[in-house]
Amino acid sequence: MSSTDSKPQHKADTRLAHAGRDPSAFHGFVNPPVVHASTVLYPDTATMVTGGQTYSYARRGNPTTDSLEGALKDIEGAAGVKIANSGLNAIALAILSCVKSGDHILIADTAYGPTRHFADTVLPGMKVSVEYYDPQLGAGIKSLFRPETTAVFTEAPGSLTFEMQDVPTIAAAAHEIGATVLMDNTWASPLYCQPLTLGVDLSIQAGTKYIVGHSDATLGTIAASEKAWKGLDTLYGAMGCHVAPDDIFLGLRGLRTLSVRLERHQRNTRTVLDWLGNQAPVARIRYPGLETDPGHAIWKRDFSGASGLCAFDFAAGATQEQTFAFLDALTLFGLGYSWGGFESLAIPVRLKGMRSVADVDPQFQSVRLHIGLEDPEDLINDLDQALMKAFG
Ligand SMILES: *Cc1c(COP(=O)(O)O)cnc(C)c1O
């Protein structure tokens, strides 16, 4: 669908409200229909054999999928967008669209754990060699390039430990050797970081998180540059990928309010972290939006906002028993992994098997928080009583 009402000169919030919609095509209704379908009928054989109508086969898309793809294409400034079943599915498809047997892929050591699992289990069987790199190496990535390096997979900030990386510098180096640059941009969402403007070719979202935003569906999105689009489109079609219309609809519904939700996530996170940073058991906050964070300068240069996901380390001497006691004492923060909904969450950070370049201290005691849309004063009180219970 054409995003008829969204123009390049419009600002991000206007595009969020208008992109990917064409009410005049659906009797004036604001939202597109949720098309449940398999068979598509043709008026006559001539139309059938010439492919002379917009929709030909359910798997190849319908007005609902077109609407979400069109909206994201506009928001990400992409040549094309594909929707996947989950964030991990989007990551796997994006990687498979740009590597082949004999290739070498560089992946940030701080990438999302299941990304590593995919790379370590599936790619070697296809004779793609996988190498992890220190996310903070910047232009030093050149020293890892081989003649067969065809892809560089970035993610910022890093999963669980929140290191930033210099994506524009890494992307420029990768382009010099013709490699495709991928970025898992789930933390910032396409609203607070626009990977394609940083030189990324395949911008990936776990749409499950902030796009859906209500903890009620899983989705993944891949926005491609001109260079990467054909490979992605071909792979997606050949693999028979298709996402159910109800989940697409939840993505579209979430997308419209992304900006107001993120603004509140950001504000609440700042309020909670300003308090948390002053608590005796807490040694360090991990959140590039904070001025004290080592990744702050890069964040400020490349991102326009910070979301609700952060972590903090307990001071040396804290035990795993204390970390678990703290987590078990929380009442408003749920213990759960998949973040990005309206509710606050907490997990213990466990890095075992998740890093191969960085040395990980086995005593490392850290907690990841997702700061939801609750009143931050209630969240602070909850954290306060849990710290008291665990640390006295
Ligand atoms: C959650 C997450 C994913 C995976 O998304 P799913 O929809 O759960 O598969 C990928 N990358 C990051 C950074 C995530 O946080």
Q: 363: burial class by Cβ within 10 Å (0-12, 13-18, 19+)? A: exposed
Ligand 1 mutation target, pool 204, 205, 338, most atoms within 8 A of CB: 338
Q: Which atom of ligand 1 is nearest to the CA of 159?
A: 13
C-alpha span between 332 and 345 (Å, rounded)? 8
pLDDT digits (tens, 9 = 90+) for 261-295: 999 999 999 999 999 999 999 999 999 999 999 99
Ligand 1 mutation target, pool 159, 161, 202, 209, most atoms within 8 A of CB: 209
Considering the domain 258-391 in this protein, what is its CATH number? 3.90.1150.10
Phi-psi category of 126—alpha, beta or left, where left has phi over 0 and alpha has psi -120 to 50?
A: alpha
Output the CA–CA distances (angstroms, integers) from residue 283 to 39, 279, 313, 315, 364, in the order listed.
Answer: 59, 8, 6, 5, 11
C-alpha span between 122 and 124 (Å, rounded)? 6
Which residue bears the tokens 């969020």? 16
CATH 3.90.1150.10 in the chain is located at 258-391
User: What value, to the nearest 5°, has the Cα angle with vertex 73 and ends 71 and 77?
Assistant: 125
C-alpha span between 156 and 185 (Å, rounded)? 7
Q: Is 206 in the pocket of ligand 1 (CB under 6 A)?
A: yes
Nearest C-alpha to atom 4 of ligand 1 is from which residue? 87
C-alpha span between 167 and 194 (Å, rounded)? 11
Q: Is 208 in the pocket of ligand 1 (CB under 6 A)?
A: yes
Q: Would you say 387 and 281 are in contact if contact means Cβ atoms under 8 Å apart?
A: yes
Q: Is 110 in the pocket of ligand 1 (CB under 6 A)?
A: no
Q: Which atom of ligand 1 is nearest to the CA of 309?
A: 15
Q: Which atom of ligand 1 is nearest to the CA of 90?
A: 9
Which is nearest to 83 in space by CA: 206, 186, 222, 205? 222
Q: Is 204 in the pocket of ligand 1 (CB under 6 A)?
A: no
Residue 94's SS3 state is: helix
Q: Is 340 in the pocket of ligand 1 (CB under 6 A)?
A: no
Gap from CA of 138 to ligand 1 centroid (Å):
24
pLDDT tens per residue, the chain (392 residues)?
444 455 667 999 999 999 999 999 999 999 999 999 999 999 999 999 998 999 999 999 999 999 999 999 999 999 999 999 999 999 999 999 999 999 999 999 999 999 999 999 999 999 999 999 999 999 999 999 999 999 999 999 999 999 999 999 999 999 999 999 999 999 999 999 999 999 999 999 999 999 999 999 999 999 999 999 999 999 999 999 999 999 999 999 999 999 999 999 999 999 999 999 999 999 999 999 999 999 999 999 999 999 999 999 999 999 999 999 999 999 999 999 999 999 999 999 999 889 999 878 888 999 999 999 999 999 999 999 999 999 98
CATH 3.40.640.10 in the chain is located at 12-256
Ligand 1 mutation target, pool 115, 208, 216, 222, most atoms within 8 A of CB: 208
Output the CA–CA distances (angstroms, integers) from residue 347 to 309, 337, 339, in the order listed.
Answer: 11, 7, 10
- Output the pLDDT for position 349: 97
Nearest C-alpha to atom 5 of ligand 1 is from which residue? 87
Question: How crowded is residue 58: how many other Cβ atoms within 10 Å of its Cβ?
Answer: 16
Q: Would you say 133 and 163 are in contact if contact means Cβ atoms under 8 Å apart?
A: no
The number of CA neighbours under 13 Å toward the Cβ of 144 is 25
Angle, helices 258-276 vs 376-391, to 10°: value is 40
Q: Would you say 367 and 349 are in contact if contact means Cβ atoms under 8 Å apart?
A: yes
Class of domain 12-256: alpha beta
- Output the pLDDT for position 1: 42
- Output the pLDDT for position 358: 84
User: What value, to the nearest 5°, has the Cα angle with vertex 267 and ends 282 and 184?
Assistant: 80
Catalytic residue ranges: 59, 112, 184, 209
Q: Which distant-in-sequence residues (6+ apart) come within 8 Å of 232 by Cβ?
A: 80, 82, 93, 94, 97, 202, 222, 224
Strands across the sheet with 220-224, in order?
Answer: 80-84, 220-224, 202-205, 180-184, 149-155, 104-108, 129-133
Gap from CA of 62 to ligand 1 centroid (Å):
25
Question: What tokens were used for 112?
Answer: 């999302």
C-alpha span between 231 and 82 (Å, rounded)? 12
C-alpha span between 52 and 181 (Å, rounded)? 36
**Amino acid occupying residue 48:** M
